[in-house]
Amino acid sequence: MSSLHADEAFLGHYQLDHDPFAARVPGFKFFPAQRKPVLGQLHHLARYSQMLLVVTGPQGSGKTLLRQALVASTNKQSVQSVVVSARGGGNAASMLGQVAQTLGAADAQVGAIVAQVVQLGLTGQEVYLLVDDAEQLDDSALEALLALAQGTPEGRPHVFLFGEPSLIGALEQTDVGEERYHIIELQPYTEEETREYLALRLEGAGQGGQLLSNDQIADIYEASGGWPGPINQVARDSMIEAMIASRSAVKRPTMGFKMPKKLVIAAAAVVVVVVAAAGVMSGRSKAPSNAPVQAQLPLGQGQPTDAQANQDGSPAIDFAGSNKPQPMNGQQPVMREPLASAAGGDSDDGTGPVPNGSVAPPTVTTSAPPAGSVASAPNAMPAPTPAPVPTPAPVAAPPAKAVPPVASAKPAPKAVEKPAEKAAAKPAPGGSGSSWYSGQAPSSYVVQILGTSNESTAQAYVREQGGQYRYFKKNLQGKPLYVITYGNFPNRDAAVAAIKNLPAKVQAGKPWPRTVASVQQELATAR
């Protein structure tokens, strides 16, 4: 895949022809108003000055673009441009060898190169020598290039160095004097120039500046400092995170809703306890109460008859309307029918409800007929004395004792709450690692997995994956976004290699490498 093709999801989501923020896009030209005077100054000094010309700026400040504009703006018939790089070979021998080979000089020495420049001058051609990555030049190479720039009265090449600010310190350490070189320091873009730059980048990829909101552009400008290289990186990150956030709003990742195993077990325990408690309460509500119920019994005098006495000698109980004796066993009888009649319920014998005490309830007696009564009538009963109807108070007493089953079920919720609280309180591996990111080297890399507006989703994902997965919080268009990353790698190649070893379901989300410096910038902005 070439450098002009970015992540397919990114390109497809925004319908882009290619990655608009790639480092090298053929045909892309953006030269803001502030850079045009710099270009004119370089041409002027090259024509009327014999000094070495130095252009400095941080990485991604647009030095290469300025060098390309300088070459493109020269007259090809009258100027021969020689472009060399100090990367991987910043000594004098390497520099002079590249220049001699391009110009066709007889020897890779300062004198031979200057002589060849003089010969070209006789044919009406000047020589522009442009050196990229000049911060990697050593002292011998700097001295050789200063000598070339000085040249001879007959002719000299125009030497331009493009490097990072450390190049200034290297020149100051030489004993050549400041009058032999001139330094031009590039300035960052303004916010309006940043807006124009982004719009031109997006238009070149088939879209326009409308893909970025004003808030996004303001955030990009603040995070990048106005330098073109960081603008490209931050803008791409911002658009990818906006894409992920929009997709998450439509369909949340399913892994964010997986319930922890401990919580599943706790929930099952809740169901078992609730069902058991319901069964106990249901059973107790159906069971008859064993609470004693007091009833006033009419007492007679004398001894029980043989027909009324039990075999063990205990007095017999005789219910009205029934001739079947029931043993007392020395205990007070439970008066079921009178209680039901008082409550307006059905009688035990199925005769229907007793209406408001209009019929006197049957009585129970423990006395025998009085002395002198007719013995020939063993079944004769004394005149029944109406027993007082029990008040509702004794009836209400039994349900009060049915409360303990509820009290016995109270400990059950505690067994549920503790696992849930522990599951919620347990921090996800890696956690919200703003402090971890702040402690890493800005030049190192991490792999961005995904972003979500729900912190619980980020925590669940990190907890499920474990290992080197972490997440941090940033602000995107005024709303929090939780970005999940993986690992810590010394360079981009190591991060790209690690992506290939990630699980298939993680790779399906199209993870991509990014610098820790960009994360630190976002954390600083979020504060």
DSSP 489: E
- What's at 380, amino acid-wise? A
Report if pTM > 0.75: no
CA angle 430, 431, 435 (to 5 degrees): 85
CA neighbor of 129 nearest in space, from 106, 155, 153 = 155
Instruction: Please state whether 97 falls in left (phi above 0), alpha (psi between -120 and 50) or beta.
Output: alpha
d(CA 173, CA 450): 48
Which tens digits make up the pLDDT trace of 504-518? 888 877 788 999 988
All residues at 6 or more sequence positions from 413 whose CB lies less than 8 Å from its CB, including other chains: 270
Which tens digits make up the pLDDT trace of 69-79? 899 999 988 99
DSSP 307: G
Which tens digits make up the pLDDT trace of 178-230? 678 899 999 999 999 999 999 988 988 888 778 898 999 999 999 999 999 99
Half-sphere exposure of 377 (CA within 13 A, CB side): 8
What average pLDDT is seen over the chain? 73
Which tens digits make up the pLDDT trace of 122-178? 999 999 999 999 999 999 999 999 999 988 989 999 999 999 999 988 888 876 666
Which tokens belong to 394? 């004794």
Which tens digits make up the pLDDT trace of 441-490? 999 999 999 888 889 888 988 988 888 999 999 887 678 888 999 999 99
CB neighbour burial string for 495-525, b if at least 16 within 10 angstroms, e if fewer? beebbeebeeebeebbbbbbbbbbbbbbbee
Higher-confidence position of 115 and 345: 115
Give how far the C-alpha of residue 116 lies from the chain's centroid of Cα atoms, to the nearest Å.
Answer: 64
Domains of the chain: 8-27+191-243 (no CATH), 35-185 (3.40.50.300), 316-347+390-426 (no CATH), 427-526 (3.30.70.1070)
CA angle 481, 484, 488 (to 5 degrees): 135
Mean pLDDT is lowest, of 207-211, 349-353, 490-494, for 349-353
- pLDDT over 70 for what percent of the chain? 63
DSSP 473: E
DSSP 152: B
Beta strand pairing status for 52-56 and 79-85?
Answer: unpaired
Q: State yes or no: pLDDT of 426 exceeds 60.
A: no
CA quadruple 278, 282, 285, 290: dihedral sign: negative
CA neighbor of 168 nearest in space, from 187, 182, 179, 149 = 182
